Structure 1
Amino acid sequence: MPSARFQTRQTIAAALRALGVPRGGVLLVHSSLSSIGWVSGGSVAVVQALLDVLGPDGTLVVPSLTTPNRDPSRWDPPPPESWWQDIRDSLPGFDPAITPSSNVGVITEQVRTWPGAVRSVHPQTSFAALGPRAAELMAGHRPDCHYGEESPLARLEKAGAWTLLLGVGFCRTTAFHLAEYRIPGAGTRTYGCAVLDADGERRWIEYQDVSLDDGDFALLGADFERAAGHVIARGLVGTASCRLFPIADAAAYAEKWLAAHR
């Protein structure tokens, strides 16, 4: 019998079922492969397990962010200022078919490149999905709406989707970003990135959107768990601590919390 530190497609699927991942549902996953322990088959086995549990009628979604595609003045750490304009002039334009996701883990990149995956077209904060509702949920992601009402995140909320934190904390909860758009008078800022136009020509664009800030999401998540723990399922997948909860509940709580704390 494999130990908690040795996982397979079958043991991961069993743990996900025990946690309550809904068969036939829509699931947004934030993940860390290394947190699970040693997985026979790595990220492929994890994606297979997720699809096994969701079944043929379920839809798997991941955030396929492209954080390097932004103004170099906002990189951490930023490159020398003398390089900034050259970077703006030369960064490859976002292409949903080939631009890799970044800083979101290998499970996400495995989903993005999986046969049949559909990706939204936002040049910085795209999502990728597998399943019968993938195209519907990924459609119409406006460039000036990272995580608001014209993004897949709002569509996931309306679809009754769940968030699974698989070995990561509340600081990764994109559902909280949806609430940032619903705070009256939310501040905005200028974003910049490289895109491809309808003719395939690369260009640099700038646009206004809500000023996103996840710096207090860990604290927000801890308060959400204390106040609304009844909607959060907790468990282990291998050695990974996991939480499962409805996106709608997380966004509703975050909207009140952010209004009070920011």
Structure 2
Amino acid sequence: MDEMDLLKRSGGPVTRSRISRDLVTLGLRDGDDVMFHTRMSAIGYVAGGPQAVIGALRDVVGREGTLMVTCGWNDAPPYDFVTWPQDWQDALRTEHPAYDPDLSEADHNNGRLPEALRRWPGAVRSRHPDASFAALGAAADELMAEHPWDDPHGPDSPLARLVARNGRVLLLGAPLDTMTLLHHAEALAEAPGKRFVDYEQPILVQGQRVWRRFHDIDSEEGAFDYAAVVPEGQEPFEAIAQDMLAAGIGRQSRVGAAESYLFEAGDVIDFATCWIESRLG
């Protein structure tokens, strides 16, 4: 979609001040800790791109608020490299750079905003290579500190801390199925058939590159088999989020041209954990 199409969609340039006004209308407040997911093209032509979006979010949450994103690691070694021919494995183990919170790019599949925020002056990125998050603001250090190596979506994860701080989740033009917080509900839910993954990635330990083994729910293929409870062709997280909205959980309005949603993190976890356990238990 070219610039003129984006301009027509949003009725002109979507400026920082316009985004701020729309976020306030949606319900974002001064002092909020908010994890956000963004699809820039849905907003329209954003004058200034990610810088304007982050600036608008900071304008609204203020000095006491905190912004948080899911990053991941774009250049992480593939989970299945241990199935490669041995000489290929050896070459990877010998020279693949370690995850570095300051240098390793956020997963490009998460869009432009996570990479922009994690590079913002003062931003803090968590230590976990595969499930890393980044935060900017008053509670950034608290949210990101000592991200558990194993079960990185579970108790004491940045997601759990966001819930404990009465944080919120903002989908800024992003699809409902992009809500990373639902992985925390999967980690907490007690239901049969939960799927896990074990994998190896290089990290820095006291300045030295070390390969470490990690254990987590399967956040890529799905922690559960939802086929029996979700219509064919629909993403499980989309189904959960739609049921939340139908139950009156969450707020909805437009930011620029983008249909956007704001949820209380605690409500998301209570609803989604119950949803998973009641349907799959």
TM over 0.5: yes
> Residue 39 of structure 1: SS of its match in structure 2?
coil
Report the Cα distance in structure 2 between the residues aligned to 1:168 and 1:237, rounded to whole angstroms.
Answer: 11
Backbone CA RMSD of aligned residues:
2.3
Query: Which residue of the partner structure matches residue 251 of structure 1?
Result: 269
Q: Which residue number in structure 2 is paired with residue 35 of structure 1?
A: 42
Q: Within 2, Cα distance between the matches of 1:222 and 1:73? A: 34
- Residue 258 of structure 1, CA deviation: 1.4
Measure the CA separation in 2 of the matches of 1:87 and 1:236. 46
Cα deviation for residue 202 of structure 1 reads: 1.6
Q: From 118, 130, 137, give the equivalent of 1:124.
A: 130
Go from structure 1 to structure 2 and tell me whether the alpha carbon gap of 1:90 and 1:156 turns closer, same or farther (over 3 Å shift). same
1:223 to 2:231 alignment: no
Amino acid at match of 2:16: R
Alpha-carbon shift at residue 209 of structure 1 (Å): 2.4
CA distance in 2: counterparts of 1:14 and 1:205, whole angstroms: 45
5+ long unaligned stretches in structure 1:
75-79
2:211 to 187, 204, 209: 204
What is the distance in 2 between the residues matched to 1:60 and 1:81? Answer: 39
What amino acid does structure 2 have at the position aligned with 1:32?
R
Deviation at 1:171, TM superposition (A): 1.2
Q: What SS does the aligned partner of 2:63 have?
A: coil
Question: Given residue 149 of structure 1, which amino acid in structure 2 is its aligned partner?
Answer: P
Corresponding residue number in structure 1 for 2:227: none
Taking a change above 3 Å as real, the CA distance of residues 139 and 16 of structure 1, as seen in their structure-2 partners, is: same
The residue type equivalent to 1:60 in the other structure is L
Give the TM-score normalised by the residue count of structure 2: 0.84
User: Which of 8, 14, 31 is matched with 1:7 structurally?
Assistant: 14
1:155 aligns with 2:161: yes
2:52 is aligned with 1:45: yes
What are the ranges of 5 or more consecutive residues in structure 2 without an aligned counterpart? Answer: 1-7, 224-234
- CA deviations on 1:172-195 (whole Å, 9 max, x unpaired) are 111111111222264433122121
TM-score normalised by length of structure 1: 0.89
After superposition, residues 233-244 of structure 1 pair within 5 angstroms as 233-244=251-262
Amino acid aligned to 1:196: L
Partner Cα separation in structure 2 for residue 72 and residue 141 of structure 1: 20
Contact 1:30 1:164 in 2 (8 A): yes
The partner residue of 1:62 within 54, 69, 87 is: 69
2:101 maps to what in 1?
96
| Structure 1 residue 84 displacement after superposition | 4.8
Q: Give CA-to-partner distance per residue, 1:113-135, whole Å, 9 cap, x none.
A: 11111111111111111111111
Identity %: 36
Q: CA deviation at 1:204?
A: 2.0
Quote the residue 1:77 is aligned against.
none
How many residue pairs match? The answer is 255
Letter in 2 for 1:59: T
Contact 1:71 1:88 in 2 (8 A): no
Shift of 1:5: 4.6
Work out whether residues 73 and 105 of structure 2, in 8 Å CA contact, stay in contact via their aligned partners in 1: yes
Q: Which residue of 2 aligns with 1:25?
A: 32
**Deviation of the 1:67 alpha carbon:** 4.8
Q: How far 1:14 sits from its partner (Å)?
A: 0.7
The 2-side partners of 1:259 and 1:224 are apart by 15
Determine if contact 2:79/2:200 at 8 Å carries over to the other structure.
no
Q: In terms of mean alpha carbon deviation, does 163-172 or 81-90 score higher?
A: 81-90
The C-alpha deviation readout for 1:150-178, integer Å capped at 9, x for no partner, is 21100000000000001112211111111
